[in-house]
């Protein structure tokens, strides 16, 4: 399953307050690497608004929440299951028509 993730925190809870090379910042971004249960396909950030957007793949929602738990503790995290519409169009034989 694919999931679209939006993470948001504010300037006061920003892990980068101690510097981008700080232990806190490094630990806060560890989720970007995924784990054996969740594959992170891409992550994009908009630093001025303290938001990041990701597409991840996992077999179940529990694995996703386990990976994102640290993000959920510092701000708002939204996880939406999504479909790959390009793959669906190709599977139906409609691609290029």
What's the CA gap between 69 and 23, in Å, rounded? 17
Cα four-point dihedral sign 64, 67, 72, 77: negative
pLDDT digits (tens, 9 = 90+) for 75-96: 999 999 999 999 999 999 999 9
User: Residue 66 — left, alpha, or beta (φ > 0 → left; ψ -120 to 50 → alpha)?
Assistant: alpha
pLDDT band at 67 (very low <50, low <70, confident <90, very high): very high
pLDDT of residue 3: 98
CATH topology of domain 2-91: Alpha-Beta Plaits (3.30.70)
């Amino acid at each position: 399953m694919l999931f679209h993730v939006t993470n948001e925190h504010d300037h006061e809870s920003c892990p980068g307050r101690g510097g981008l090379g700080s232990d806190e910042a490094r630990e806060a971004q560890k989720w970007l690497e995924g784990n054996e249960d969740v594959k992170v396909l891409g992550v994009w950030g908009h630093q001025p608004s303290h938001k990041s957007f990701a597409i991840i793949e996992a077999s179940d929602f529990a694995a996703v929440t386990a990976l994102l738990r640290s993000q959920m503790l510092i701000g708002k995290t939204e996880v939406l299951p999504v479909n790959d519409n390009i793959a669906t169009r190709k599977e139906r034989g409609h691609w290029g028509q």
